Each structure stands twice: as C-alpha cells, then as structure tokens.
Amino acid sequence: MDHTKINISKLNLYYGRQQILKDINAGIPEKKITVILGPSGCGKTSLLRCMNRLTDLHPQARLTGNILINGKDILNTTDDITSIRKMMGLLAQRPYPLPMNIYNNIAYGLRISGRMNKRMLNKRVEHYLRQVSLWDEVKDRLRDPAVALSIGQQQRLCLARGLAVDPQIILADEPTSALDPLSSQAIEEKFNELKENYSIVIVTHILRQARRLADHVIFMYMGEVIEQGPADAFFENPKLEKTKLYLRGMFY
Amino acid sequence: MSGFRIKLSRSLRNKVHGSWMTVCLVFVISMPVIIAGGLYWKSSVLLHDHGVFSLIFSKEWKPLSGQFGFYPFIISSIWVTMTALILAAPICLLTAIHLTQYAKRWVLKIMHPVIDILAGIPSVIYGVWGILVVVPFIGNHLGTWLGKSVSGYSILAGGIVLAIMVIPFVLNILIDVFNNIPTELSEASLSLGATRWQTIKFVLVKKGLPGIVAAFGLGMSRAFGETIAVLMVVGNVSRIPSGLFQPGYPLPALIANNYGEMLSIPLYDSALMLSALILFVVVLGFNFVSRYIIAACDKRC
Ligand SMILES: Nc1ncnc2c1ncn2[C@@H]1O[C@H](COP(=O)(O)OP(=O)(O)O)[C@@H](O)[C@H]1O
Ligand SMILES: [Mg+2]
C-alpha cells in the first residue's frame, strides 16, 4: 500500500449554521496525482481550503475532525500556521499574480522564508521559472509587472511561485478553468512531471481531465465523499450507482 | 402605417432626449471652466497691478495701503491641511485595514452607516465641537503641559477638527479599496507562508496603492477647501504661523470672513477672488495629481 500523505478523518465544515462538508474521510497518497471530482457546489474547493487552513480567514467557518499531514494533525495544533501553509503550494482557479514584477513574484516567498543573498536569489528564481518552462519566455523582462503576461503564463508563474517555497504538496483548484487549451495542456504536463517529487491534489469538474491526470480519485457529492480509490478501479469499475451515473454524464 | 409613425416619433424622441442630454453634459463639463474663467476675470485687475509672484510670495496684507500678500494665508492653508492629513492618515489606514481584514463582518456592517452619518454631519457642528472641546484642551491642558501660554485657537486646533472631518470621508473610500481586492490575492500570499500582517504590508497595501493615494488626495482637497469649521477654531490672524500652537488664517476663512464686508476698499474684492482662484486651482491640482498616480499605478502593477 502507498504511503498516505494527507489523512482526513471525520471532517465537518460549517459556515454559520450551514454544513458544507459532512463527515469526510479520505486519504491522499504521496507523490501521486489525486483528483477531487464532483459537480459544482459539492464542496471541492471547501475541502481543499481546509487542507491549508484558509478557512481560518472566515470568522464564521467552523471545523471539526482531523487532517493529518505526515501523521501530524494540522487542525488541532499549536504549530505556526505559516509553516503549515508553506508545506503546500496553492494554485487558484484564475491566476492571481502578486502586485509586483515577475522576478519578485517568485522571490516573494523566498524572501519571507528567510534572508538570502542576491546571487542565491537569482539562481532560485531562474530555477523555478525553468521548472515551469517560463524562463525562456520571460528572462528578458523579469522586471516587468507580472500582470503583463498572458493568462496562461501567469498561471505557470503562480505555479512556480508556489514551488519556490519548497512545498511537499500542491493544491490546485480547477487550475485550467480560465485557460485556453494549449495553456491547459502545458499545466497538465507540468503536473505529470511534478508528481515525481510532489503530492498533488487537483480539484476539477471536468471528467476528461480527471481521466487524463488521476492516479487516485475522490468523488464528492453534496458535501460528502461518495467513493474514492485508485483511478483505474474508479473509472473502470465504480462500485456505487451514483458514481456510475456521474461517470456516464447523467448529472453534473 | 401606424408602425411607421411610431418609429418616426420614437426616433424623434430619441433625438430630443439625446440633445437634452448633450445640453446637460456640456453644462456640467463647462461648469468648472466657467467658474475658473469668472474668478480669473474678477481677479485680473489685481493680477495686472501686482503680478502673480509678488502676490503669492509677499507677506504684507494691508488692504488699506493696497498691499495684498497672500503668503501667510497660503502657508496657513498648507499647515492646517498637512496637520489634518498627518493626524488622519494612520487612523484611516489602520481602521480600514482592521475593518476589512480582521473584524467580524457584522462590525463592518454596523460601521458603514456610522461612517456615513459622521460624513454627513454639517461642518458647523464640528466647528462648535472644536470650540467647546479642542480649543480649551489645547489652551489649558496641552499648552500648560508643554509650558507654553497659548489661547488654543491655533493651527493644531484647525488640524484636529479637519482631521476628524476628513476621517469618515477618506475611510469610506479606503474600505472600498480594500474590499475590492480579491481575497484570492491574500490567500496566495498566505499560502506562500506569509503572515497576515506581511500580506497586508507587502501585497494588499501595494495592490491598493492607487486607491489609497486617491483617497488621501481627495481627502486633502476636501481639507484644503473646508471653510467654516476651520474658521471657527484657527484664530484668523494674518501672520505667518511659526508653529502648531500659533493661530493661522487659511484661504477659505479669508474669503468667508471678508467677502461682502470691506468691498469699499479698492481692489479688495479682486483680492478675494484671487484667493478663491488659488483655492480652486490647488484643489483641482490635488485631484489631477491623485488621478495621474492612479493611472500610472494601474499600468505598473
Ligand atoms: N465563505 C462561504 N460562506 C458560506 N458558504 C460558502 C462559502 N464558501 C462556500 N460556501 C458554500 O459551500 C458550498 C460548496 O462550495 P464550494 O466548496 O465552492 O464547491 P465547489 O468548489 O465544489 O464548486 C456551496 O454551497 C457554497 O455556497
Ligand atoms: Mg470550486
């Protein structure tokens, strides 16, 4: 059996009186791509945001249960929240570059993590830009504002920015939904390369994308996990009626 | 047939509406031009007699002997405005950040109407409050504490009253500025291991900078032009103020105190029109500069 990177048990999320996630039990395997699949509004984004505790930002959000990362509970802990969040790179539905130039978008996380001399910083920035195949496109205009890039380039920049703080996990929330087909493909290819070294969680409601990328699938519906397991078994041999219907495109 | 007639009358109506709108638009756009033109025309007599520079930089204000030096008034205006801004800026910025980033949502919901009410209080009331509270406080407490003998009617009193007046105005804009920044941007910064405060300092303030500049620019032009509340507490002595505890005499107070009273003195009305023109140009300048900075920042970030 694989090593489990993130282990979620008995997780409930409430916004005020409304319950968004209901008794979630799920495992995210290490150095694989896990796809969280399900129709819009079923709570995929919410589940992802629990994993790096962005739910803390909402005063009316309440969490119960456990999320273990490397065996350590991140919900009920006195550990520094910033060090927990740094374990995970986040990629949002649309790219949100920081309001600074291309170079500083990557350097931001590095500078915050600790002092680094100029030469070292330059090297790291180049390294991560190369890792997302952006270096050749931007090396002559590192001082340009990041918003001057195309949306597809911006999303790759956001990926590089996340990688720069040396996370173990990548959380991606429908990372291609704002992109054109070519840029989407570029991002998907990156995920396939990156899973050598990172545990990747991708939220999507696009079945075909899930089939292309997933090693492991978590299928959600109305705030609950319906079925989960290795991708082959999940797509070829779903156990539950609801899953079969969904895979046949009977509901969204 | 009837369809055709409706069509005709409709297009006619559109035309009439269109031309009315054009008239209104031209009217609104030409207002500032007309005002500026009128002020210039009225003050041109004095300008021709003395020249702009000697008027602005001359310190002597002796209308009876024909000396019209605006320098003390301009300096007073700058002092009062800057004092107000320096007092108001940190309060506005920190309050806006607190309300939008840390406070529970219901707090902001309560604060919004409160701020609107504060912004809507007539300035005379702020002036009265200044006379009753701020002036005696400065005269009796702050003055004795600092070992100075002062009346309390001072630049500082004007600055404090002005600061209180512009705070709700600037705060309202700042809250909008911070609320308009997408939460995903803070989430991005937080997920990179930044603290809330680092996120605010390095990302949110930077992203909101054009809006922040605009808010303070507009607040400044408002402070610069505010008349009655300042006039009531600032002392109105036409001398160049040498410190915060000295009385001052800002431009708007000069106009309000004297217009219609001493117009028998030759050139006096022309001088007051010139101070109105200076006021107008400065306020317009603040507006243009803040807008220019917004445009420049929009391109950069
Ligand atoms: N901040 C919030 N406050 C209240 N309800 C929310 C909040 N965020 C999400 N929800 C609700 O949680 C449910 C799940 O949303 P989400 O996790 O975004 O679904 P998905 O990503 O699968 O489309 C939705 O019904 C949504 O209205
Ligand atoms: Mg979502």
Give the contacts of A93 (CB within 8 A, at least 6 positions apart). A173, A174, A175, A177, A178, B184
Handedness of CA B21, B22, B23, B25 (dihedral sign): positive
The predicted pLDDT at position B1 comes to: 44
Number of A/B CB contacts below 8 angstroms equals: 72
Phi, psi of A29 (to 5 degrees): -70, 150
Q: Name which of B105, B187, B301 is nearest A90 (Cβ-Cβ).
A: B187
Mean pLDDT split into 10-residue runs, chain B, 301 residues: 57 76 88 91 88 86 86 93 96 96 90 92 94 92 81 93 95 93 94 95 94 91 90 89 89 88 81 92 88 73 54
Question: From atom 27 of ligand 1, which residue's Cα is the shortest distance away?
Answer: A41
Structural domain that includes position B174: 61-300
Judge whether B45 lies within some domain. no
The predicted pLDDT at position A150 comes to: 95
Hey, are the CB atoms on A90 and B207 less than 8 Å from each other?
no
Instruction: Return the axis-axis angle of helices B71-97 and B155-179, rounded to nearest 10°.
Output: 40
- What residue ranges do the domains of chain A occupy? 4-247
Judge whether B213 lies within some domain. yes
* B241 three-state secondary structure: coil
Judge whether B253 lies within some domain. yes
Phi, psi of A177 (to 5 degrees): -70, -20
Q: Name which of A83, A88, A145 is nearest B191 (Cβ-Cβ).
A: A88
The shortest C-alpha distance from A10 to chain B (Å) reads 24
Q: Name which of B105, B182, B194 is nearest A82 (Cβ-Cβ).
A: B194
Per-residue pLDDT tens over the stretch A141-174: 999 999 999 999 999 999 999 999 999 999 999 9
* B220 three-state secondary structure: helix
Distance B60 CA to ligand 2 centre (A): 70
Judge whether B53 lies within some domain. no
Hey, are the CB atoms on A162 and B191 less than 8 Å from each other?
yes
Judge whether B143 lies within some domain. yes
Does residue B291 contact residue B110 with C-beta atoms inside 8 Å? no
Interface of A with B (CB under 8 A): 52, 54, 57, 59-60, 82-83, 85-86, 88-90, 92-94, 96, 98-100, 108-109, 112-113, 145, 147, 158, 161-162, 164-165, 171
Pick from A55, A41, A50: which is nearest to A8 by CA?
Answer: A50
Cβ contacts of B180 on chain A, cutoff 8 Å: none
| Residue with the larger pLDDT of the pair B297 and A24 | A24
Domain total in chain B: 1
The shortest C-alpha distance from B88 to chain A (Å) reads 26
The predicted pLDDT at position B14 comes to: 74
Assessment of whether the complete model's pTM goes beyond 0.80: yes
Judge whether B37 lies within some domain. no
Report the chain B residue with the minimal C-alpha distance to residue A51: B191
User: Contacts from B142-149 at CB under 8 Å and sequence distance 24+?
Assistant: B143/B245, B146/B245, B148/B245
For the segment A67-95, the average pLDDT, to the nearest whole number, is 93
The predicted pLDDT at position B5 comes to: 54
Give the contacts of A226 (CB within 8 A, at least 6 positions apart). A219, A220, A240, A242, A243
What CATH number does residue B217 fall under?
Answer: 1.10.3720.10
* B253 three-state secondary structure: helix
Strands A216-221 and A199-204: unpaired
Residue A252 pLDDT level (bands cut at 50, 70, 90)? low
Distance A204 CA to ligand 1 centre (A): 15
Pick the CATH number of A4-247 from 3.30.1490.20, 3.90.550.10, 3.40.50.300, 3.90.600.10: 3.40.50.300
Tokens of A233: 């078994």
The predicted pLDDT at position A154 comes to: 96
